[in-house]
Chain A
Amino acid sequence: MGVYALYVALQPRYRAQNWLLLIASYGFYGYWDVRFLLLLLVSTGVDYIAGLRIDRATGERSRNIWLALSLTVNLSVLGFFKYFNFFIDSFASLIENFGWSANVPSLSIILPVGISFYTFQTLSYTLDIYRRDLKPVSSFLDFALFVSFFPQLVAGPIERAATLLPQITTPRTLSSSQINAGLYLILWGYFKKLVIADNVADVVDEVFEDYLELGGLDLWIGAVAFAVQIYGDFSGYSDIARGIAKLLGFDLIVNFKLPYFARNPSDFWARWHISLSTWFRDYVYIPLGGSRQGEWATYRNLMITMTVCGLWHGAAWNFVLWGVFHGLLLVGYHAIQMHGPHRFKELDLRFNGAWGLASIFIMLGLTTIGWIFFRASSVAQITYMLTHLGTTISDETLELISDLLFFSLPLFLMQIYQAMTQDLLVVTKLNPWARIPLYGLMLAWIVLFSDRDSAEFIYFQF
């Protein structure tokens, strides 16, 4: 609050505001672990210099060298902290399968908070400069703030330099409209996280911990509950981050656009974690060739992109399998579009009433199955749950459904309203006699239902 008051008092001196934000951002990150502030600084320094060098380089070789340096440093840091033990352990398991013994070192490595996010953010900077889509920023302060901007530092949205840097390097307005929207996003974000996600987590934990004792329908309930939990948790954080940014006069990318109303896999990735999906599209899928090199190349590129996307989420095989699953969905959808009945493509384009709703439910079902890969703690659990999904019930079923429905209903109703009005901020436009009591009730529910031992945001672990 003190920082914000000072920030407002400095208006319109944006340079002074940038200094304040940078200090606050480093203080915020250093609070998690001051050692990892050094990593952030290294990443910032390397990419700042690489960006300038790439732009000023006269020859292609020099440009490539500086880009390679940026990629190597950033991906090495990310690879070491996030994937070292995973690859070592996987390699050891592999050679043990051939009957050889493996004495491999395992290090006690702490994953720096937000490393996956800020690494991708800084990489997009150097890659855009390399592609000549962007000019480098001359001020180190401005670049450092771009990398470390605290609202989105630890769990996104992953911003592009082309959208965030201009906001840093020019004066910002703190309009009442932005502040109003920002406050609403913070409120709705906390509601999704503290009321919906954290309470539904109890259903998820119960199912995923005792899955061997439960019925097929319970497994479905657990999977749906996790779909609600991860959406509430992650989109809640994104909304809070975007809301805080709006209070500071910044506009961050909308990261979620009602993903569970997606009609097909392509549509899902246009609505879910948009900043990440567009990053993978622009820096992995398209450079691999995208869909320009024929059908089979398209499928290959989709599979590679989604597998890497899965791996980005975590250093464990279940995340890789989740990525592969979504890759197969995209491949399957493309294949049906190319070779399926003409009627199918026509229906999909027209979104005709019943077919449209059916396609949403089918996609929701497939996404829910995918979440089993994501949440399960082992491949054995994934296999068991996938093969035992069904309609059998247990003594717990009624209670699980009741808990899930109780906390999911507000989310479902809000999302329907947002979909019908095509406006994610529709609540801010309600009549004050409806809007203000709604805000008050949301606050009351947050106080009432928030878990005092609230779990941290799920995506912080990435």
Chain B
Amino acid sequence: MLSSVTQTINNAFKHLPQEAIKPIKRKEVWINVLGATVVLMLCNGFADLFLNYLNSNRGYFLVSLKWKLLQEQTQPVDWLVVGDSSCNQGVIPETLMQQLNGNALNLCTVGSMLTLDDVWMLQQHIHHVGPPRQVVIIHVYDIWHRELEEETLAHLAQIPLSDDEISAFEPALELDGGKQVQLFLHRSLPLYAAHRSLEEWIREPIESFRESREFIVTKRGFMPRSETNLALFQRDVRNHLKFVSRNAFKLSDINQRSLMHLRTLADQHQFDVYFAAAPLYEGLYEDRAFRRYFRQMQRSLADFAATSDRLHVILNRPITFEPEDMQNVDHLKAPAAEVYTRRLAEAIAQHQSLNRPKP
């Protein structure tokens, strides 16, 4: 046996290999192609099932979870909070409920979904249980200029509704052929769309499992976070300052269209919408260029809000925090979220009392 193994090794490496083409019928070629495609689809299906239970991509997890939370509502929400990840971990609905009357729900997702997700969620809420009583929209200052990117499509693809239901939303996605293909791939091929998560699961299963277990969201939609990375924090500050020093505020087309439809819904269904700035690191707000950009943003939103009695801009100055309270420059740790929510509620209450119609 040993000599035959040695002989095999000797033959293997002593001679150059060749390409021997095996005669094959056309039917076998088709079997190969179709069979491989079926196996690929099975892998894709398995990946889809797997990620439904163990998704380590926080953004995808949030989008899917918040929309499912929306679908679970059986009556209109009194205080519907929508926006990006800064309010996902910055607004505690139970605290809001204590300060203001009624129930509250945090449906904030991720920034890449822009205000498109906010207005789509509103439409779904109206369609499902009727209009909410009040809406609070909270976004980090730097989402307003952003257009639809592949990341937006990747997150939109996680919305657990059918294509027909999504295509009924306004504003509609006006996608070119390439983006339509991207959206299709993200919705139908998790092997493609969630490849980074799957890659991490294959290469670092224990770490991925640990991460997926950290995605805790309360039943009213608040996600408490606590970790900080100081080196990343400093880099974050530098990047934000670089951005504001080089850019003037502008509202992107997709955000503009979303806001206009939001206004239509608010006027039609008679609910109030409050725009509030996301929590912010105090050091960032101390920078002059940043304050200039922030003021441009507030002015733009105020101009827009002036076009309807239902739209309101609160918090002319952002609520700022120290680094110890924050995960990064615009995301809070859980204890500070309590402070932010209280101050947000106070600002809303103050605005309401100032604008209450006189008898």
Interface SS of chain A: helix
Beta-carbon nearest neighbor of A267 in chain B: B16
B32 surroundings in chain A (CB, below 8 A):
180, 183, 432, 435-436, 439
Q: CB < 8 Å: which of B6, B20, B25, B40 contacts A447?
A: B40
A427-449 with Cβ < 8 A to chain B: 428-429, 432, 435-437, 439-444, 447-449
Q: CB < 8 Å: which of A271, A352, A432, A444 contacts B10?
A: A352
* Chain B: minimal CB distance from A443 (Å): 5
B189 surroundings in chain A (CB, below 8 A):
447
A440 to B22: give the CA distance in the assembly, Å: 20
Interface membership of chain B positions 13-26, coded 1 if the CB is closer than 8 angstroms to chain A and 0 otherwise: 11111111111111
* Chain B: minimal CB distance from A207 (Å): 19
A183 to B28: give the CA distance in the assembly, Å: 12
A448 to B6: give the CA distance in the assembly, Å: 38
* Chain B: minimal CB distance from A248 (Å): 15
* Chain B: minimal CB distance from A129 (Å): 29
For residue A424, CB closer than 8 A to chain B, the reply is yes
* Docked-complex contact A422 and B18, CB < 8 angstroms: yes
* Chain B: minimal CB distance from A367 (Å): 15
A353 to B12: give the CA distance in the assembly, Å: 11
Asked, given contacts A428-B22, A432-B35, A447-B40, whether A422 binds B11 with beta carbons under 8 Å apart, the answer is yes
B25-44 with Cβ < 8 A to chain A: 25-26, 28-29, 31-33, 35-40, 42-44
A293 to B6: give the CA distance in the assembly, Å: 39
For residue A205, CB closer than 8 A to chain B, the reply is no
Asked, given contacts A351-B10, A440-B42, A440-B43, whether A418 binds B17 with beta carbons under 8 Å apart, the answer is yes
* Chain B: minimal CB distance from A255 (Å): 11
* Docked-complex contact B22 and A176, CB < 8 angstroms: no
* Docked-complex contact A176 and B10, CB < 8 angstroms: no
* Docked-complex contact A423 and B37, CB < 8 angstroms: no
* Chain B: minimal CB distance from A392 (Å): 26
Beta-carbon nearest neighbor of B195 in chain A: A448
A sample of 30 inter-chain contacts (CB < 8 A) reads A176-B24, A176-B26, A176-B29, A180-B28, A181-B21, A261-B13, A271-B16, A351-B13, A353-B10, A356-B13, A357-B9, A360-B13, A419-B12, A420-B8, A422-B12, A422-B17, A423-B17, A423-B19, A424-B17, A425-B21, A432-B32, A436-B31, A436-B35, A436-B39, A439-B36, A440-B35, A444-B39, A444-B191, A448-B198, A449-B199
A-side interface residues toward B, CB under 8 Å?
Answer: 176-181, 183, 187, 254, 257-258, 261, 263, 270-271, 351-353, 356-357, 360, 406, 418-425, 428-429, 432, 435-437, 439-444, 447-449
